[in-house]
Amino acid sequence: MWGLLRKDLKSLAAQGRVTAIVAIFYVILFFLSEGEDSAASMLTAMVVLLTILLPVTAVSYDERANWDRYALTMPISQNMLVWSKYLLSAGVALAGCLFLLLLLLLRGQGAEAALLLGGTLGISLFFSALLYPLFFKLGVEKGRYAMLAICLLPSVLLLVLSRMDIHLSLPDGFWVENLLLLLPGAGLLLFFLSGLLSCRIYKKKEF
């Protein structure tokens, strides 16, 4: 398992410059931004983005080299290959959250850190949980389109509802806060279930 994680980290480190540029861009925006909420949400977006992008990049490198086929000739099980990717995502999300915490403390926004970090972690894990089964089932190329479709689905639904003259009101602050409190646990549960589903999908694959 550690060998697999080391491989992904080394692959990603090889293109670390791009990641660093994205991170620096968001950090500059964070410090330039005046409103506390918008600044923090920008960083949340960055962490979620990197949690999705980095493992997807690692999967696409693997796919291009037929790495899975080769890896399965080694003492590596199919489940190990699947869970190593989930561990990578969890690791990136956690590292992103720590980075976020550091920046919040630097800007003196420590008070809202716990809620924000929980929300960020939850959303990151939620998206990863949605993506991996798609990637394992369809491959990265087709999986990207499926991912796009899933992301657009809520907007399309809202549009359809508004056309039908059904208007949803935004939940009040109480609900938003409770939702944020639930997010890390729900994200983690979904993440774990998604891992089990991916293992099942992967077992049926041929290489």
Partner 1 sequence: MNALELNRVCKQYDTFALDQVSFTLPRGYIMGFIGENGAGKTTTIKAILGLVHYEGDISVLGCPQEEITAVKEQVGVVLEEATFPELLNARDINSILSGVYKTWDAGRFTSLLQRFALEEKKRIKDYSRGMKMKLALAVALAHDSQLLILDEPTSGLDPVVREEVLDMLLEFIQNPNHSILISSHILSDLERICDYITFIHQGRILLSLPKEELNQTYGIYQGNEEALQRLPKGAILGLRRGQFGCQALVLREAAGNLSLEPAELEETMVLMIKGGK
Residues that bind partner 1 (CB under 8 A): 2-4, 6-7, 10-11, 14-15, 58, 61-62, 64-67, 69-70, 72-77, 206-207
What's the min distance (Å) between Cβ of 112 and partner 1?
38
Tokens of 12: 């990603």
27 versus 80: smaller Cβ distance to partner 1: 80
Helix-helix angle 78-106:113-163, to 10 degrees: 110
What's the min distance (Å) between Cβ of 166 and partner 1?
47
What's the min distance (Å) between Cβ of 150 and partner 1?
26
Sign of CA dihedral 94, 19, 135, 147: positive
What's the min distance (Å) between Cβ of 204 and partner 1?
8
Quote the radius of gyration of the chain (alpha carbons, Å). 19
Q: Determine the Cα angle at 92 with ends 37 and 74, to 5°.
A: 165
22 versus 76: smaller Cβ distance to partner 1: 76
d(CA 174, CA 119): 15
**What is the separation of C-alpha 24 from the centre of its chain, rounded to a whole number of angstroms?**
19
18 versus 152: smaller Cβ distance to partner 1: 18
84 versus 120: smaller Cβ distance to partner 1: 84
